[in-house]
Structure 1
Amino acid sequence: MIEYTKAKLSDIREMQEVVKPEVEKGIILFRSSDEMATNIRSYILAKREQEIIGFGALHFHADNLAEIRSLVVKEAFRGQGVGKGIIGNLLEEGRAMGLKEVFTLTYQRAFFEALGFHEIPKEKLPPHKIWADCIKCKHFPVCDEIALIKTI
């Protein structure tokens, strides 16, 4: 059984191990322990028998807009609905906070489209997203990720 729960500061080290392969491939941005600690309340964990098998974050950009970011599921658990469960929990939290829209930058277009997201031009993203996060990416400024958004 998979349990979805809010992350705690004590989870950061294990979270960094879970995401490490995707960071090394350049698929997900590296987040330092300090950055993760600062944003710890934004993370939802997927756990199986107390092991973190995936997580994602809901990062607020405005009073009606947030971003789903840092979504990762351990390879052995992919295709089993774990990512969908994480997204569902993040969207539920967003609705409770009064969000109207949630966007993501991703290489996984089909996954997000199956959850009701649709593609938008990257130029529609908040400018501070580009300068706060994208500039840290090894692919910047030639980004091949796709921007998708969902009304919730």
Structure 2
Amino acid sequence: MESFTVRRAKTSDVKSIRNLVRPLAEDRVLLEKEAVAYYENLQEFFVAEDAEGNVIGCGGLHVMWEDIAEVRTLASDAAWRGHGVGHRLLAKLLNEARELGVSRVFCLTFEVDFFLRNGFTVMAEQSAVDPEVYSELLRSTDEGVAEFLDLARVKPNTLGNTRMITHL
């Protein structure tokens, strides 16, 4: 496989990000989002691109509170799986979390083995935040935050994935 680079996402990448996510959403591995959601959260995203400038992977880091963030929409092109794209994107997102001062990063995933290999553990206790922070997070309108908090209103949309966390 050729080499690839990881960089911050640009508005021109949204179509490619959606094309990466679509087949994974059809397989119920990721949730598909409207284009507007990607534009609104673009500053959270990084992409991997091959030597020809094709987007071959993506991932986002969503800060939820002072000390916790979520890895979101980590995906790679099927032809590039097993070539380090996801690993490099995740490393970039974790480095970004460190730079922002976040000490814990979680994800909701079906790719348990991948995240285990990258330092995550399955959350034994599903409440990763204390009650005071929990009550503050309840005010968020973000669906990912609601899913993290395991709120009943998102149950119909839950994919049945595993909550995992790493400490930086």
**Paired amino acid for 2:167:** T
Change (3 A) 1:18 1:137: farther
CA distance in structure 2 between the aligned counterparts of 1:15 and 1:35, rounded to whole angstroms: 12
Give the structure-2-normalised TM-score. 0.81
Matched with 2:16 is: 14
Aligned equivalents of 1:98, 1:117: Cα separation in 2: 18
Q: Which residue matches 1:89?
A: 92
Partners of 2:156 and 2:83 in 1: how far apart? 30
> Are the equivalent residues in 1 in contact too, given 2:6–2:47 (CA < 8 A)?
yes
From the superposition, tell whether residues 115 and 36 of structure 1 become closer, same or farther in structure 2 (CA, over 3 Å): same
Cα distance per residue 1:83-113 (max 9 Å; x no partner): 0000000011111111100000000111001
**1:98 equivalent in alignment to 2:118:** no
| Compared CA separation, residues 122 and 27, structure 1 to 2 (3 A) | farther
Unaligned segments of structure 1, at least 5 residues? none
Q: Measure the CA separation in 1 of the matches of 2:154 and 2:165.
A: 22
Normalised to the residue count of structure 1, the TM-score between the two structures is 0.89
Other-structure match for 1:74? 77
CA distance in 1: counterparts of 2:49 and 2:89, whole angstroms: 10
CA contact (8 A) 2:20 2:77 kept: yes
Corresponding residue number in structure 2 for 1:150: 166
Distance 1:31 1:79 in 2: 25
Q: Tell me which stretches of 4 or more aligned residues in structure 1 moved more than 6 Å.
A: none
Report SS of the residue matched to 1:123: coil
| 8 Å contact from structure 2 (residues 126, 163) kept in 1 | no
Aligned in 2, Cα 1:10/1:29: closer, same or farther, shift over 3 Å?
A: same
Unmatched 5+ stretches in structure 2:
129-133, 148-152
Deviation at 1:69, TM superposition (A): 1.0
Alpha-carbon shift at residue 43 of structure 1 (Å): 0.5
| Equivalent residue, structure 1, for 2:131 | none
How far does residue 136 in structure 1 lie from its aligned partner after superposition? Answer: 5.8
Aligned runs of 1:116-127 on 2, under 5 Å? 116-121=119-124, 123-125=126-128
Name the Cα RMSD after superposition: 2.1
How big is the shift at 1:26? 1.4
Letter in 2 for 1:85: R
Sequence identity percentage: 27
